[in-house]
Structure 1
Amino acid sequence: MFIPITVHVPEHRVEEFYIRFGEFIADVPDPDAPTRLPSGTVPAWVETDEAPAIAATLWNKISPQGQEVLLHLIRATGDETMHFLPWEIAKAISHPKGASGVAGTLGGVGKAIRRAGLPMYTTPKGKPWHYIWGWDGERYSMTPEVARLLRTAAGN
């Protein structure tokens, strides 16, 4: 939440004020941003001996439409984390409801993740998250480690 504040600045320092204010605002972390796993790391369960069985259980609980979205993500993810704009996914799989349909489908996958009993992690807001895919508010992402597990579970 932002609070409007009026500040009187000498005319000859207006430019400097805006520069410094911009730097100040850019430095403020977003308190609503979810905890992000550091680049190149994955949820701890992915590296356990049980990971293939967990991924297979999950895959079997996901709807065909959810599998289609995840198949697009896992097939496109190679040795580096990949990022996907919602409209790109919708176009690639010809989702009839576009980007919002992709979001809804992944919401259903999230329910399947909970039904499969995958470990959840806590965001700064105290909400659970699974990190099967990432979401930064603009793009989805998939790590190579999760993609490999799901690819095997899907038989791809």
Structure 2
Amino acid sequence: MIPITVHVRENRVEEFYVRFAEFIVETPDLGRPLNLESGTVPAWIQTQEAKGMATKLMSEISLMGYGVLRHLIEGADKETIRLRPQELADISRHPNGISGVAGVLGGVGKAIRRAGLPMYRTPSGGTWHYIWEWDGEAYSMTPEVAKLLYANRAR
């Protein structure tokens, strides 16, 4: 491998991390995500293997990754939560602000791949895991995903 440095405009850092993760992912596309009333979720959350998969994922996430992700998990207790990058940076008190949060979530994306979770085709032709959603303006998580991750978090 060779290291590559690129310059990214500050307002496109989050998008860069998302697209880079899509580029390097080696996990196969395994079907379609579920479209629930609360939002789009990974299909595996409704399988018998869901608990084990969630436990594996949560064991792969760093302490800093969980520190950011937990705000989405806890906020989606009863309904889908949407947090703009600045809101998530503020409540997580990340010292590097929104770019730091994007970097941490990029690390969570790597944990998702290490855990071997399925990736799905997005409407735009990319791939995504649907643990959380990024629509270009805000991060969101559904209660279905949040409950599963919370119940299987590392103790």
Calculate the TM-score normalised by the size of structure 2: 0.73
Instruction: Note the C-alpha offset of 1:126.
Output: 3.0
Matches for 1:9-24 after TM superposition, within 5 Å: none
In the alignment, what sits opposite 1:71? 70
In the alignment, what sits opposite 2:5? none
Task: Name structure 1 gaps, 5 residues minimum.
Answer: 1-34
Instruction: Note the C-alpha offset of 1:76.
Output: 1.2
Instruction: Note the C-alpha offset of 1:124.
Output: 3.6
1-structure distance, mates of 2:56, 2:42: 17
In the alignment, what sits opposite 2:61? 62
Percentage of pairs with the same residue: 57
AA at the equivalent of 2:43: A
Instruction: Note the C-alpha offset of 1:155.
Output: 5.6
Instruction: Note the C-alpha offset of 1:128.
Output: 1.6
Matches for 1:3-14 after TM superposition, within 5 Å: none
Task: Name structure 2 gaps, 5 residues minimum.
Answer: 1-31
Relative distance call for 1:110 and 1:155 in structure 2 (3 A) is: closer
Q: Secondary structure at the match of 2:100?
A: helix
Q: Secondary structure at the match of 2:152?
A: helix
AA at the equivalent of 1:139: A
Instruction: Note the C-alpha offset of 1:127.
Output: 2.1
Instruction: Note the C-alpha offset of 1:77.
Output: 1.0
CA RMSD in angstroms, aligned pairs only: 1.9
1:46 aligns to 2:45 (yes or no): yes
Relative distance call for 1:101 and 1:85 in structure 2 (3 A) is: same
Structure with bigger gyration radius = 1
Instruction: Note the C-alpha offset of 1:66.
Output: 0.5
- Per mean C-alpha deviation after superposition, the further-off stretch among 117-126 and 38-47 is 38-47
Runs of 4+ in 1 over 3 A off after TM superposition: 35-39
AA at the equivalent of 1:77: A
Instruction: Note the C-alpha offset of 1:125.
Output: 4.0
2-structure distance, mates of 1:93, 1:145: 22
Q: Secondary structure at the match of 1:83?
A: strand
Relative distance call for 1:149 and 1:101 in structure 2 (3 A) is: same
Q: How many residues align?
A: 122
AA at the equivalent of 1:72: H
Deviations 1:31-72 (A, max 9, x none): xxxx99454252210011111110010011111111111111
Instruction: Note the C-alpha offset of 1:154.
Output: 1.6
AA at the equivalent of 2:122: T
1:83 aligns to 2:78 (yes or no): no
Matches for 1:4-153 after TM superposition, within 5 Å: 37=35, 39-40=37-38, 41-153=40-152
2-structure distance, mates of 1:85, 1:124: 22
Q: Secondary structure at the match of 1:154?
A: coil
Instruction: Note the C-alpha offset of 1:153.
Output: 1.4
